[in-house]
Structure 1
Amino acid sequence: MQINEIVQKLNMTARAIRFYEEKGLISPQKQAINQYRVFTEQEVWRLQTIIALREVGMNLEDIKSALEQMEGGDYDELQYYLELQRSMMFSQWLEYKQMIATTDGLIDLLKQEKSLPLSGIYELAEGSKRLRNVRKNWRDQWDYDGRAVTHDQVVANLDEDRDPEYKDYAEALSSVAETISPQTGEVGLDLGTGTGNLAGQFLASGITMCGVDQSKEMLRQCRLKFPHMETKLGNFLAIPYLDDQFDFVVSSFAFHHLTNEQKQLSLQEMERVLKPNGRLCLADLIYSEAENEIKPAAGAGKFYASLADLLTWFDQHGFMVQYKQINSLLHIIHAIKA
C-alpha cells in the first residue's frame, strides 16, 4: 500500500505520515526503483494506533513506548499509559472547572460593585492559582511502586518490630466497613486503595467497589487479588470520576501523606464525587489534641492531621460528623454529606 492509499484509507495527510516517519514511529519500506514508500499491514496498524492515542492527547514519546510495549505483547504497560493520560485529563478538567468558578466570581463581583476592584481580582486569581499549583506539585515521595509486592506482608505483620504506622490495621479496616454499613446496590470508592485490602472488606459482602491509587504497581497487585474490581490510576487531588458518582467514599492509612493544603483539596474532591447524603469514612493517624497543628510526623512525607481542624472543615461544609479513637493516633472519621 502506498502513501496516497494510506491518506485515503485513514483520512490523514501525507505530511502527517512523513512526520511520524521522521519521529521514528513508523518505518515504511521504500521501493528500490523509485523510492516510493510501501506500507505493510503492520505499518497501517501502527498509524491507526498513533491516531487513536493522539486523539486522547498522548505525546509522541509515550506513543513510541506504548507501540513498543504492544508489539512485545505487554498490554499492561499500554493500559498504564492510557490510565496516566486519563488521570492527566481529569486534572486538566478540574483546572478548567476552577477557572470557570473564578470567572463566575469575577462576573458576580462586577455585578455587585459595577467595577472590578483590584483586591477582589487578586484574591480570586491567587486562590485559583494556588489550587492549580497544589495539583501540579503532586509527587510520589513514598516509592509505593517499590513497596507493592511486600505491602500485604508489612501490614499483616503482628510482631513487635512491625511498622508502627499500621498498628491495629485489621481492626481499623473492619471498623470502616462496619461504620459505612453499605446497602445492596450501593457503589463505593476506596481512595488510595493500594492492594485493595479495605475495598476487599466490602467486596466480600457483595458491594460494588472502585479503587483509585497513584501507584501502578499497587494497582497491579490489587487487580491480581480482585480481578473484577474497577481500578483507576489517580490521586487524592484529582479523583478520576465525574461528580456525584458514589454512595460512599472510604480511605485508610493514606490521608496522612497529604500536606495541610493538600488535605483541604482532597476533602473537596471526596465531597465532589459523593452523591447527596453520601457517606465518607477515613481511618488514619490523627492528632486528637487541638494544640497539635499539622506537622511532619516521624518519617519523611507524613503529616498527621489535627482532629479539631478536620471536624471544623466538615462542619463548615455541612457534613454531619462523628469519630472514634482506636489507639493514641489512629482514628475513624465518619461524615455524611448534606
Structure 2
Amino acid sequence: MGMEFVDLFNQWASSYDDTVAGKDPEYREVFEGYEEMLERLANLSKSPVMEFGVGTANLTRKMIEQNKVVLGVEPSSEMRRIAKVKCPEAAIYDGNFLEYPSLLTPIRSIISSFAFHHLTSDEKREALQKFREHLEDDGEVIFIDTLFKDEAHKQALIQDAEKQGFLNLARDLQEEYYPYLEDIKEIFVEEAFEVTFEQLNKYAWLIQARKGE
C-alpha cells in the first residue's frame, strides 16, 4: 500500500483499537458499526483468504475463529507486532498491496478493511491486476473502505469535519487517496471485475468484486 503512510501507521498502532472502538470522537463516525462491518467481511470471506492491511488483526481474529486459512500482509512493524500477539496462529507477513510474499495456493477471497484508499488510482489498478493472478476463477475481492459519492459529497464531509473542529479528519479527507464512487467502479470494471457497492455508514462502503472473464 502507500508506503508513505507507514510512519503514520506505526504511530497509530498503539491507539488504533481505541479509535475503531469509538473512543476518539474525531473518527467515531468513520468507524461507526466497526464490529458489525468486520463480522460481515469475515462471513463473506471464503478460505483460503488473503488479507491486506491486517492492522491490529481485528478482522484476522474473526476469520481465524471461523477456522479459515488466512495469509495476512501488513507494512507497519508496530501493527504487525500487535497483530502477532493478538492472533499468534495467523501467518502475517511484511508487505503491502503491491509487494508481498509469493503465494503457495490459489486464493478464494482477498479481503481488506480501511486500507485500499492508501493507494493512488494507478496503484489501485496495479493491485487489481495482481489480484486477478492469484484469485481462483470464482474468487472475490471484498473490501470495506472510505470513498466519496462525488465531489459534492467530499466537500460536504470536509466542511462537516471542519465545523466540528475535527481538523485531522478534514486533512485526511483532502490528502489521502479516497476515490470517487464512479472512478473506483471504473477501475474495477476495466480490470474485469463484476463489482457492487453498498454504503454502510457516513464514510464506509462495502465493495464486492467477483473475478470476471
Could you say what secondary structure the match of 1:207 adopts? coil
Tell me whether 1:327 sits opposite 2:201 in the alignment.
yes
Q: 1:243 to 1:334 in 2, by over 3 A?
A: farther
- What amino acid does structure 2 have at the position aligned with 1:154? T
Q: Which residue of 1 aligns with 2:13?
A: 148
Aligned mate of 1:204, from 65, 76, 79: 65
- Identity of aligned pairs, percent? 28
- What amino acid does structure 1 have at the position aligned with 2:4? R
Report the structure, 1 or 2, having the larger helix content.
Answer: 1
Could you say what secondary structure the match of 1:336 adopts? strand
Tell me whether 1:336 sits opposite 2:202 in the alignment.
no
Whose Rg is larger? 1
Report the structure, 1 or 2, having the larger strand content.
Answer: 2
User: Taking structure 1 as the reference length, what is the TM-score of the superposition?
Assistant: 0.52
Question: Cα deviations across residues 165-210 of structure 1 (Å, max 9, x unaligned)?
Answer: 3233222212222333x3xxx2101101111111122111111111
Q: Which residue of 1 aligns with 2:32?
A: 167
On the 8 A contact 1:166/1:253 being kept in 2, the answer is no
In structure 1, how many angstroms separate the alpha carbons of the residues matched to 2:86 and 2:133? 29
Tell me whether 1:313 sits opposite 2:187 in the alignment.
yes
On the 8 A contact 1:244/1:276 being kept in 2, the answer is no
C-alpha RMSD over aligned residues = 2.7
Q: Which residue of 1 aligns with 2:140?
A: 279
In structure 2, how many angstroms separate the alpha carbons of the residues matched to 1:162 and 1:324? 20
On the 8 A contact 2:22/2:32 being kept in 1, the answer is no
User: Taking structure 2 as the reference length, what is the TM-score of the superposition?
Assistant: 0.80
- What amino acid does structure 2 have at the position aligned with 1:258? L
Q: Which residue of 2 aligns with 1:225?
A: 86
Q: 1:226 to 1:315 in 2, by over 3 A?
A: same
Q: Which residue of 2 aligns with 1:63?
A: none
Structure 1 position 318, deviation (Å)? 2.3
On the 8 A contact 1:145/1:218 being kept in 2, the answer is yes
On the 8 A contact 1:288/1:329 being kept in 2, the answer is no
Q: Which residue of 2 aligns with 1:20?
A: none
Structure 1 position 220, deviation (Å)? 0.9
Question: Cα deviations across residues 116-141 of structure 1 (Å, max 9, x unaligned)?
Answer: xxxxxxxxxxxxxxxxxxx9x84335
